Amino acid sequence: MIITPLLVIFLIVVFVLLFLFLNTVDKRKWLSALISLVLTPFVFFYMFYPFINIISNYHHQKYFNSDAWIENPALRYEMIDNTVKSDTLIGVSKEKITTLLGNEEWLTWDDAKKVHDTNKWNYGLGIEPGAFTDERECLEITFQNDTVVALKTYQEDITFENEKE
């Protein structure tokens, strides 16, 4: 385990909260401090840390990998930040995009022409973990002259077929 300043601060917060709670049970400060010291690692790793993981939406960042993109569509959100920042796909042809990412999952609708725009491909990136996540991540790839000119990520509301409107 790597000891970081944030970890130390969180451990101190848990210790102080435990000490204050145990002080209401028994007024002997030395006993409350001793029990708090022993219980702090357990409370931190079995209560505080899981709670923080549930309410935060932190996820690992990975480099783009074509095989992982195709095999695990629900985990694409881990790769997209680095892919967009590094311009990995900018200037790539439609054929190469089909090889790397697979066929487009859907096309963007063009209201002016009342037809799907074949120059804007969309891919689902999955749902980022978190307790309050109600949107899924998506990627729109824009082509011009059959080469990628822009990548745009956006969120789309999660809907289920059995939900009544």
pTM above 0.85, yes or no: no
What is the rounded distance in angstroms from the CA atom of residue 43 to the CA atom of residue 37? 10
Backbone angles phi, psi at 115, to 5 degrees: -155, 160
What is the rounded distance in angstroms from the CA atom of residue 85 to the CA atom of residue 22? 49
Residues found in the chain: 165
* pLDDT of 162: 75
Closest by Cα among 60, 53, 77 to 128? 77
73 is written with which tokens?
């569509």
CATH class of the region 66-157: alpha beta
41 is written with which tokens?
């690692």
What is the rounded distance in angstroms from the CA atom of residue 92 to the CA atom of residue 15? 54
DSSP H helical segments within 2-143, as ranges? 5-25, 29-43, 49-55, 66-71, 77-86, 94-101
* pLDDT of 55: 80
Per-residue confidence in pLDDT tens, the chain, 165 aa? 788 999 999 999 999 999 999 999 988 999 999 999 999 999 999 999 888 878 876 777 888 899 999 999 988 999 998 888 888 899 999 999 999 999 999 999 888 888 999 999 999 999 888 777 888 999 999 999 999 999 999 999 988 777 665
Annotated domain spans of the chain: 5-55, 66-157
* Beta bridge partners of residue 132, listed in sequence order: none
